[in-house]
Structure 1
């Protein structure tokens, strides 16, 4: 006995999860794979996961770290005295428009205007921060 409603329900229950899983690795609402690509394109010119550079502090271990505390990096006074602790919300707010969120920052990046881009980069940073082996490159 054919039932169009039953067949469509089965289709959505079986096919939709497979289609969504093909869209990329997800973590906390962001696409980790795409976040890694955005990080390489937009962040890695200055930042590194494994070491601070002359231009920017390292990003490994960023989640949960107090802003302005990587030893040896010459942070702006604004960053050192901000009192920020990096979590998903503070990173999202900061990378939306760094100069507006934290006047006086020396970060030379205008920001990610798209919420999806921010979510993807944050998902990537969360993943690498939770796996120290990714930080030893």
Structure 2
């Protein structure tokens, strides 16, 4: 019984150490810039529209409001103000966040890549 107590204490210590030793992911805008290269086919880092709207200044902007881009009715009526939380959800599943939007993108499922991409987009002014 004495050994069982020690084993339990060792297991508890290992579990606690594994939980506390894992640092949270620090968002990496430089890595996000690399991830953005896939987005650059359709989007720019300024206000210039391509197949998609320019993403310069996206944080704090109302969805469907960038100049010189013909948005879907779904996006214009979404009543979204882009912040990091909404942008993260949208990049994960665009059709879930704004059903009927025209962005032909299934979503970025990797949470680290998505967090880094959002961090990079937040730097665009």
With the shorter chain as reference, the TM-score category is 0.7 to 0.9
Structure 1 unmatched runs, 5+: 1-19, 21-27, 130-137
Q: Structure 2: which 5+ residue stretches go unaligned?
A: 1-22
Measure the CA separation in 1 of the matches of 2:68 and 2:29.
Answer: 29
Distance in 1 separating the partners of 2:83 and 2:57: 11
Q: Would you identify which runs of 4 or more consecutive aligned residues in structure 1 move more than 6 Å?
A: none
Tell me what 1:39 maps to: 36
Q: Are 1:56 and 2:79 an aligned pair? A: no
Superposed displacement of residue 33, structure 1: 0.8
What TM-score, normalized to structure 1?
0.70
Equivalent residue of 1:30, what SS?
Answer: coil
1:29 and 1:87 map into 2 onto residues whose CA distance is 18
Structure 1 contact 29–123 (Cα < 8 Å) conserved: no
Size of the alignment, in residue pairs?
102
1:83 and 2:79 matched: yes
TM-score (norm 2): 0.76
> Counterpart of 2:69?
73
Match of residue 107 from structure 2: 111
Q: Please state how far the C-alpha of 1:50 moved relative to its aligned partner.
A: 2.0
Counterpart pick for 1:93 among 80, 85, 89 = 89
Q: State the distance in 2 between where 1:53 and 1:127 align.
A: 18
Separation (CA, whole Å) in 1 of partners of 2:40 and 2:81: 22
Name the Cα RMSD after superposition: 1.7
How far, CA to CA, are the matches of 2:106 and 2:62 in structure 1?
A: 22
